Structure 1
Amino acid sequence: MRDLNGCSGSLSDELLEWYDRHARDLPWRVSPAARKVGERPDPYRVWLSEVMLQQTTVAAVRDYFLRFTTRWPSVADLAAAADADVMAEWAGLGYYARARNLLKCARVVADDLGGQFPDNHDALLKLPGIGPYTAAAIASIAFDEPVAVLDGNVERVMARLHDIHDPLPGAKPLLRDHAAALTPDERPGDYAQAVMDLGATICTPRKPACGICPWQTPCAARKAGTAPDLPKKMPKKPKPTRHGIVYLARSETGTWLLERRPDKGLLGGTLGWPGTDWTDAPTPNPPFTADWQELDGEVRHTFTHFHLVLRVQSARLQAGFNPAPNQELVPEEAFRATDLPTVMRKAYELYANR
């Protein structure tokens, strides 16, 4: 078995050779063959994809990315978009703070930087919503800056390659050091995508395909038989369950009463149904006095830190109702359930299928 010490160049070369043959075809990516003949990635598309991919799978992001880039093909187009349109297009992708920061960042780039993204990690970090991982990914992929990119896939690959049993998240600095040691000066953007592809397609969380891995020989965890058990993680705390009530009100002509949530907080800036706070024992808080009827069934949804159970009540929205400042009356022809966050869409589906 080859010693890992002092062979970072050969390991990177081996992975790049594998990537040249097996790179995933992704709508935001410039293929290694195209890069070799001079085609450069669009920083806007790299940035947009990386923001969308945070805590979200490639399969879930692909259609959203295509819709966004069709509707807003440049950062200037996105910067000029109405907040409500962007939030509606984002609906269902989750983690809505990403969409709010997307708009903030687009407007800084368009208004203050002449529509050009900074070309280095440190400058990218100063933009709204861009943290260390996203800055490294953009700097590396879009501008070929040799900085280490460390996402969940790369963490897993590094933990197995070096047979590291220290649990995450405490092991992150060590894994980052190992990732940095392997990052080459030549083709760092392709290398960053290669190691992410390796984790996504071969060095997978369960049943890694070690037999076809380009790094099977130097992999310490493969030799030790520990690869399926890595990386180690600290035990997760049980998620609490919260409860709430949402109120669906519709007029005889099909107009819906919707409510925009505050910009800060969970689902911030999105349009949904009026409702209670989400607590252990919510206090009823209907938007107007009526004969509210509770629907059979309930809505269940899981957020990052808690489970949510919603009761759904409905009533007729009377003509002449005067909405509160944070509420909107949406005519039937303008209402699209797909513009709602997933948890609110589930409440609509319960109503529609009653």
Structure 2
Amino acid sequence: MQSIDFYIQKACSVVAADDFAKQVIQWQQVHGRNNLPWQTENNPYHVLVSELMLQQTQVQTVIPYFNRWLERFPDVQSLADAPEDDVMQLWQGLGYYRRARNLHAAAMTVVEHYQGKIPENADQLREIPGVGPYTVGAIRAFAFDASAAIVDGNVKRLFARLFSLPFLVNKSSFDRYFWALAEHYTPQSNGRRFAQGLLDLGATICKPTQPQCGDCPFRLTCRSYQDNTVTDFPKRAEKKATPTRSGYFALDINDAGILLLKRGSDSVWPNLWCLPELEAAAQGTPDGHFKHTFSHYKLHATVWRQTLAPSQHYRRVALTDLDSVGLPAPIRTYLQQINT
């Protein structure tokens, strides 16, 4: 693999940094997304919430969750003060629950160390739980209009096609090349609109499938478009087949409600209330089944009706009160369908 400088020079032969920034900014102003709910105030807290929600999740899915979140937790202080169960309950359905825990921990850190104000300084932002390199750049660009590089899947795909890059976008060992290019092309002004333009181009024009190359402002210079190799980029390492695992759960239900167990912080569905899990399949006819796909495996679960021994770790919740507790989405769906 060639050096980073080699690929920056290669990129510059396609489009100069000043020209690239100018075209991105002009395109975004006319064609980009400018009315998303977290864009209305450029509030650092709104940016933090939206960016963590948008990890692994589509914009249209996030919007209603974001709006409900701000109704319940309108600022950093209210989130920091909230019980963990309230936070997890409001997050349920978005998946990747570690993001909710990180967001809660981030609010408490900001209150404790930064007087409730999310900082602009990159080094300080890195100390906040859940804030990685991309989120540091996003907060600085979107909340403070700073010159801050960002790299996510949209940016990688745009760069890979524009410059015909050989890097595997799903291998972290190549991330440094994308970050070097992003830093080279990020302008010193108009950081907010430039960063949004990169994301918008990737999300609405340079899409993973069926890219709208005819509407792209870089179609005349894009290497892969000119070479008719757009579908060859970005390069990816072949993924391994997703394994399937079996899960076994107990449904203990009576007139007082359903018995639930709060899962540990280091488990699947961390800190959520769940049906107690069994170590092995139970005897008798199952009550039912459900399936769920995680990032690294597929769960095929079987549920049996059982009466469990009392435990201080269990909590019985009435069917009418299930909306008040944080439940994994597949568990909630299953419970909504049971016949008492």
Letter in 2 for 1:28: W
Q: CA deviation at 1:344?
A: 1.3
Give, in whole Å, the separation in 2 of the partners of 1:312 and 1:23: 47
SS in structure 2 of the partner of residue 86 of structure 1:
helix
Matches of 1:122 and 1:208, distance apart in 2: 37
SS across alignment from 2:217: coil
Unaligned runs of 5+ in 2: 1-10
Contact 1:301 1:309 in 2 (8 A): yes
Deviation at 1:111, TM superposition (A): 2.4
Q: Which amino acid aligns with 1:303?
A: F
Aligned to 1:153: 154
Q: CA deviation at 1:164?
A: 0.7
Tell me if 1:283 matches 2:267.
Answer: no
Alignment of 1:270-349 (within 5 A): 270-276=272-278, 282-284=279-281, 293-296=285-288, 298-315=289-306, 322=310, 324-336=311-323, 339-349=326-336
For 2:15 and 2:226, the matched residues in 1 are separated by: 19
Q: What are the within-5 Å matches in structure 2 for residues 176-325 of structure 1?
A: 176-253=179-256, 255-276=257-278, 282-284=279-281, 293-296=285-288, 298-315=289-306, 322=310, 324-325=311-312
1:171 counterpart SS class: helix
Q: Which residue identity lines up with residue 271 of structure 1 in the other structure?
A: W
What is the number of residues matched between the two proteins? 327
Deviations 1:266-286 (A, max 9, x none): 21101111112xxxxx5247x
d(CA) in 2 for partners of 1:249, 1:165? 54
Q: Is the 8 A contact 2:290 2:334 kept in 1?
A: yes
- Which stretch has the larger CA shift, 4-13 or 223-232? 4-13
Deviation at 1:330, TM superposition (A): 1.2
CA distance in 2, matches of 1:6, 1:316: 68
TM-score (norm 2): 0.90
Given that 1:292 and 1:315 are in contact with CA atoms closer than 8 Å, whether structure 2 keeps it comes out as: no
Superposition CA RMSD, Å: 2.2
Tell me how far 1:135 sits from its aligned partner. Answer: 1.1
Letter matched to residue 295 of structure 1? D
Give the match for residue 7 of structure 2. none
Aligned match of 2:4: none
SS at match of 2:157: helix
Q: CA deviation at 1:351?
A: 2.5
* Structure 1: segments with no counterpart, 5+ residues: 31-39, 277-281, 286-290
In structure 1, the partner of 2:3 is: none
Q: State the 1:26 CA deviation.
A: 0.9
Q: Give 3-state SS (helix, strand or coil) of 2:39's partner.
A: coil
User: Runs in 1 of length 4+ with deviation above 3 angstroms?
Assistant: 2-6
Amino acid at match of 1:86: V
Judge which range, 60-69 or 244-253, deviates more: 244-253
